[in-house]
Structure 1
Amino acid sequence: MQRRALMAGLLASPALAQGGWQPDRPIRIIVPFPAGGATDVWARLCAESMSEMLRVPVLVENRSGAAGMIGADAVAKSAPDGHTLLFTITPLVQSPIVLGQAPYDAVRDFSPIGQMGTTTLVFMCRAALPPRNLAEFITYARAQAAARRSLNLGSWAAGSSAHVFALAMNNRLNMGMTHVAYRGEAPMVTAYLSNEVDCGINSLTSTREHVVSGKLRPLAALGDARAGGMPDVPTFYEQGVDVGRGWSGFIGLLGPARMPPAVHARLAGVFRDTMHREALRARLVAMDTEPVWLGPEDFAATIIRVRDLWTELTRGMDLQLG
């Protein structure tokens, strides 16, 4: 309670709202996935606005590997001076649970700065494949497996939402697909276009242009609601497949633990003001991303909720990570 009261006071301080801590050199935002993926796109969009407000360059650095844990660990072990931040998504908490032996604790080793929003994930396949809807795809995948021509099921990281929910569908429906993990969403999309992977769960932020061009075919949305940018694509549950019901991930900005209160408060305030810019929010909506800003305390609670849900969801599940 004392920490919450202190943080609320700092965020409300007129002095901090007008200036407060000022970085004395460029700020690095580490994205733990390759350039070109959805997380990278979101980070660069926010960095542009933050740089303007902080009056120093805010640079995005891609440091991928180990399902996002390499970049996250680099931030966790960095100096807590506000000059090294992490822009990431739910694999921050998912990957350690699934892969084990994580180099960091997702709750203890970070200072949440703010949530940017959420995005609906969509199961899709290469449009060159015959199926036109989810039911046809299930039948087709089973037939291919029976003929020993199993489809390749891609994911942007082992243990990610894309992996776990697609594998849950694969296992429950006996589709016989083979999982292939990539080091980020951009390489996975490249694999679609080169026919290396047949299907998978992706963000529309990274794949919309290929859906519109007719190269990828969306079949089912994950979670309880259809994607706002593609309302014609029904959810899994609407189509009789109980996969991903109730699931919602996060997109957000964090720093290392033990940041000085004045530094943390200034960054949280700048990120809040960034997320309240109508032009930025409009750009996010156009990118199939729902802007849902949460301050540090609420974002911290979200991270804990997702961690606990993911622990329960994956308990006893054979994720075939080899």
Structure 2
Amino acid sequence: MHRRRLLGLAAATLASPALAQGGYPDRPVRFIVPFPPGGGTDTWARIAAEGMQPELGQPIVIENRGGAGGLVGTEAAAKVAPDGYTLLFTITTHVQTPVVMRRFPYDPVNDFAPIGRLGTTSITFVVGPKVPAGITTWPAFAAWAKGRDLSLGNYAPGSTGHAFGMLLVEEAGLQAEQIAYRGETPMLQDILSGAIHGGFHSMAAAGEMMRAGRVRPLATAGDRRIPALGEVPLLKELGFSARFSFGGFSGLLAPARTPQPVLDRLTEAFRIAAAKPETHRRLLAVDTVPSYQDPATFKAQIARNLREWTEITEKLNLTIDS
């Protein structure tokens, strides 16, 4: 009897696709993206998914769940069954939003098992048709904006774009209302329509509009200029502080307690996808630097970014009521 029971347990284990080394995946995998379609996070997730599909032998479906600066989709991803069939593709708001909103529906470090970082990118301050067309440089904008009530968008409350918008106004001595959106796409639409003056955008979401001249890039955060915007200076070059050097990430996470064989399978597929020339080409096309990190290194960055953003939030009094 005891022997038969052990054999039965072993058979059940081998039959489970989540536990068997060779059985996973046997159906489509889902990436939850905690922002609407069309933004930078959505673009990077699709690049990663398309690179991983041949390695996993299954389709990868993108599910956009925007809301609350990424909290809605991320909380959902933290609570799914840890079987490897629902994953989270996210950005630095993963640690930023809960700190700023003083609400932690998930633990950014311990509720997830990192699979890998895909890349890094800088964000650029842009203005649209609500600003006179002749203003094409930061000095010209700063002179025009003095004494005006500006409206600046950000793609999520507590995001890098939100903090940088506040820092920009503070250091430049301007006045502005900060308006939070549920992702880059609706924010970009309001800039293009003239509803707001401008804000910080990624090249993945707004690069095409910059190249077409529909929005004007005036200055870039980070430590190096964006190749496609070679003439656009860094904020540091314009005399702004080193606080604009804060760097983020885009990457893939699984729920904690996902079985190690499944994590190993996903990690290898992600590593291969991140190294593909086509992945590099597509990332560079949206001015994203391919910068793969393995799970351990990526987890360390998430923990470090959480500490850094907590300090920035306290210094800026960036917390908001959720």
TM-score w.r.t. the length of structure 2 is 0.89
Contact 1:29 1:59 in 2 (8 A): yes
- Distance in 2 separating the partners of 1:316 and 1:72: 26
Do the aligned partners of residues 104 and 22 (structure 1) sit closer, same or farther apart at CA in structure 2, a change above 3 Å counting?
A: same
Contact 1:38 1:203 in 2 (8 A): yes
Q: Aligned partner of 1:228: which letter? A: P
Contact 2:35 2:64 in 1 (8 A): yes
SS at structure 2 position matched to 1:143: coil
Q: How many residues align?
A: 299
Contact 2:129 2:193 in 1 (8 A): no
SS at structure 1 position matched to 2:318: coil
- Distance in 2 separating the partners of 1:20 and 1:165: 46
- Distance in 2 separating the partners of 1:103 and 1:128: 38
- Corresponding residue for residue 230 of structure 1: 229
- Corresponding residue for residue 185 of structure 1: 184
- Distance in 2 separating the partners of 1:125 and 1:320: 26
- Distance in 2 separating the partners of 1:249 and 1:229: 20
Displacement of 1:52: 1.7
- Distance in 1 separating the partners of 2:97 and 2:309: 10
SS at structure 2 position matched to 1:75: helix
Unpaired runs of 5+ in structure 2? 1-20
Displacement of 1:141: 1.6
Displacement of 1:320: 7.3
Unpaired runs of 5+ in structure 1? 1-18, 145-149
Displacement of 1:321: 4.0
Q: Deviations over 1:202-253 (max 9, x none)?
A: 1011111111121111111111111122121111010111164431100000
- Corresponding residue for residue 124 of structure 1: 126
Do the aligned partners of residues 21 and 301 (structure 1) sit closer, same or farther apart at CA in structure 2, a change above 3 Å counting?
A: farther
SS at structure 2 position matched to 1:80: coil
Matched, 1:70 2:69: no
- Distance in 2 separating the partners of 1:39 and 1:56: 22
Contact 1:21 1:263 in 2 (8 A): no
Contact 1:165 1:243 in 2 (8 A): no
Q: Aligned partner of 1:74: which letter? A: A
User: Superposition pairs for residues 83-94 of structure 1, below 5 Å?
Assistant: 83-94=85-96
Q: Aligned partner of 1:254: which letter? A: L
- Corresponding residue for residue 39 of structure 2: 37
- Distance in 2 separating the partners of 1:268 and 1:132: 44
Provide the alpha-carbon RMSD of the alignment. 1.5
- Distance in 1 separating the partners of 2:217 and 2:22: 47
Do the aligned partners of residues 137 and 205 (structure 1) sit closer, same or farther apart at CA in structure 2, a change above 3 Å counting?
A: same
SS at structure 1 position matched to 2:245: coil
Displacement of 1:24: 2.0
SS at structure 2 position matched to 1:151: strand
Matched, 1:275 2:262: no
SS at structure 2 position matched to 1:177: strand
**Any runs of at least 4 consecutive aligned residues in structure 1 with deviations exceeding 6 A, and if so which?**
none
Greater Rg by CA: 2
Taking every aligned residue pair, what percent have the same amino acid on both sides?
42
TM-score w.r.t. the length of structure 1 is 0.89
